[in-house]
Amino acid sequence: MPNAAQIGPTDSQARFRSVDAVRGFALFGVLLVNMYNFGAYAPEWTGTVDRAFSTLMHSVFETKFLRLFSLLFGIGFALQLAKVMSQSAVSLWFYVRRMLFLFVFGMAHALFFDGDILMEYAVLGLILITFQNVHGRALLVLAAILLVAFPVGNLMHTPDEDDLDRQLEDAMPLAELREGHPYLGSPVDVIQENASVIPPRIWSDLHDPESSLALLSMFLFGLYIGRVIILQDITLHLPLIRKVFGWGLGIGVASALTEWWLKHSFGYAVFSEGTASNGIRFLGDTLFVCGSTALALGYGSGIVLLAQKPEWQAVVRSLQNLGRMALTVYLLSTVMFTTLFYGYGFGQLFLLGPAATTFYAALFFVILLIFCNWWLGRFRFGPAEWLWRSLTYWKPHPLRL
């Protein structure tokens, strides 16, 4: 039986380039949504431009890109599993090590950004192993059931003290939130503030649209997609991918427009209590689940279709490089926006509205694109990917080309 060292990491030329391109595309949405948590969500930003950017972010990016990123994790697991089984490796111990070291990366990351997703991915990635032999249709049914957990759970949820505290904090003026905030202090202050999120409470807030159950559902969808060999032979499955693109965008846009109507007509709000009745809340939550999932699938299939067009190869290749360095980009993104917002950097916490935050997110993304293209012209892996691989396989791999 081959060991982890014999299995080795996937050669860069043998990767599924479409998956890398979609992952690179998803990273921008993840970056943007993370940056909005530092003041851009506040209701104080009432200007026309800021309101337009806030609506755009919620309708196009929020939750959708997290679902897409989680879907890709499931696809990656399916591809890794197929590779292991093709090499007669019965043990998945090397995969367990991979998740354990991902958890360690997440712990270090969470000390500076309490919105870390790596620890949760690592835990759910270990849980995903138990689904490796589950039939494909059963995976789809389970994924659909987990998605329903949000509208059903939110309908049954009774606001507690944590919910009330969050509502009070959201209603506070941004100037008051800045006063004495740990993020405006030293790095030690930031670390002490964020240490409470370790380990992650993956089974809390299950009524939330971005709960662990929602992420696990996308892992299962991705596991199914990775199994059915769609991405291994894209040309053969182009008609199906086009249908997913069209239906995904169609359902997603229709759901977003209906949600907007429910908000302005009945006071519905997906991330807060709002003033809507239970029936309207359930309808809106269901639409949000269906729409965000459909848009995630539509975005992913759209990038796959663009990857087949010669005139888009330069753009797709840059996205592929971002996708190949996803862990590095995710960590560097945090370095960039915490430097912008925290006190040991430029101290812009709670000072930037939706328009300014979107501008900085786009600027950071362009910088990361340039960096990744430069780096992969000289090295085989991103620095974080190289360290992760070397730890997982218990041996340093060649880094330079």
Res 168 pLDDT > 90:
no
Q: What percent of the chain has pLDDT over 90?
A: 63
* Inter-residue contact 369 to 318 (CB < 8 Å): yes
User: What 3-state class would DSSP assign to 152?
Assistant: helix
Helix (H) or strand (E) holding 215: helix 212-227
Cβ neighbours of residue 206 closer than 8 Å, sequence gap 6 or more: 149, 153, 212, 213
Q: Is 57 inside any structural domain?
A: yes
Distance of CA 328 to the CA centre of its chain: 14
Res 76 pLDDT > 60:
yes
pLDDT band at 164 (very low <50, low <70, confident <90, very high): low
Q: Is 301 inside any structural domain?
A: yes
Q: Is 213 inside any structural domain?
A: yes
pLDDT band at 87 (very low <50, low <70, confident <90, very high): low
Nearest-angstrom CA–CA distance, 390 and 98:
10
Higher pLDDT, 379 or 272: 379
Assign residue 2 a region (left: φ > 0; alpha: ψ between -120 and 50; beta: otherwise).
Answer: beta
Cα pseudo-dihedral 375, 376, 381, 385, rounded to 10: 60
Q: Is 397 inside any structural domain?
A: no
Q: Is 231 inside any structural domain?
A: yes
**What number is the average pLDDT over the span 145-172?**
77
Q: What is the identity of the amino acid at 248?
A: G
Instruction: Render pLDDT for 181-202 as a digit per residue (tens, 0 to 9).
Output: 999 999 999 999 999 999 988 8
Q: Is 401 inside any structural domain?
A: no
| Upper half-sphere CA count for residue 177 (Cβ side, 13 Å) | 19
Res 169 pLDDT > 90:
no
> What pLDDT score was predicted for residue 155?
85
Tell me how many domains the chain contains: 1
**What number is the average pLDDT over the span 206-216?**
88
> What pLDDT score was predicted for residue 201?
84
> What pLDDT score was predicted for residue 352?
97
> What pLDDT score was predicted for residue 230?
67
> What pLDDT score was predicted for residue 379?
95
Res 231 pLDDT > 80:
no
Instruction: Render pLDDT for 324-354 as a digit per residue (tens, 0 to 9).
Output: 999 999 999 999 999 999 999 999 999 999 9
Q: Token match 């939130």: residue?
A: 177
**What number is the average pLDDT over the span 201-226?**
87
Higher pLDDT, 90 or 240: 240
User: What 3-state class would DSSP assign to 114?
Assistant: coil
pLDDT band at 81 (very low <50, low <70, confident <90, very high): low
Mean pLDDT for the chain overall = 88
Res 314 pLDDT > 80:
yes
Most confident of the following: 79-83, 276-280, 367-371: 367-371
Enter the DSSP assignment of 3. -
Res 12 pLDDT > 50:
no
The domain containing residue 276 runs over which residues? 4-392
What residues are paired with 400 via a beta bridge? 379
> What pLDDT score was predicted for residue 91?
62
**What number is the average pLDDT over the span 76-101?**
72
